[in-house]
Amino acid sequence: MTVGILALQGDFREHEEMLRRIGAPTLQVRLPKHLDQVDRLIIPGGESTTIGKLLVMYGLIEPLRARVRAGMPIWGTCAGAILMAQRIAGGRTDQPSLRLMDMTAHRNAFGSQLESFEIDLPLEVLNGDPLRMVFIRAPVLEDLGTAVTPLARIDDGRVVAARQANMLATCFHPELTSDDRMHRYFLEM
């Protein structure tokens, strides 16, 4: 099983290092032809507007949508979660996105870079200790459709991780910690 990592912008190298550490083959995805060589895909954190524009520039939006609709597992972290949401709040109205998950991603929900933080929270799908979550100019997930299951909430009740069928969205950066449980969970999807 080869895990594709969208490598247009953002922290794709950190995901790649984590996956290699746990023995999962990876491929950096930059063009539609690369999608044919992967069994699942991670869209990393970065800047969602920039990644969205590059998805358009490299002709990846429709091929990605088609693969996900055909059942390919996909995981978006931070900016990736924003790009997967059907609706985006707090951003540009013309921002390109994949519009896959029935939810709203509210960009920069915690504020600017200065309000970035880390917190340990339990995640129902992970057994064991709470997961260290790194939030950097992070979104929150709102208006979840009935097919979307919230997986984690911060203390005020806002959703920061969700799943809909073969799609996973996290507002935090598990690739910036040493805990590989989220990556292992994605590999089992």
Q: Which residues form the catalytic set?
A: 78, 173, 175
Characterize the bridge pairing of strands 117-121 and 131-135: antiparallel
Distance of CA 25 to the CA centre of its chain: 19
3-state secondary structure of 129: coil
Residues 170 and 23: their CA atoms lie apart, in Å, by 22
From the number of C-beta atoms within 10 Å of its C-beta (0-12, 13-18, 19+), residue 189 rates as: middle
In sequence order, the β-bridge partners of residue 76 are 43, 169
From the number of C-beta atoms within 10 Å of its C-beta (0-12, 13-18, 19+), residue 98 rates as: buried
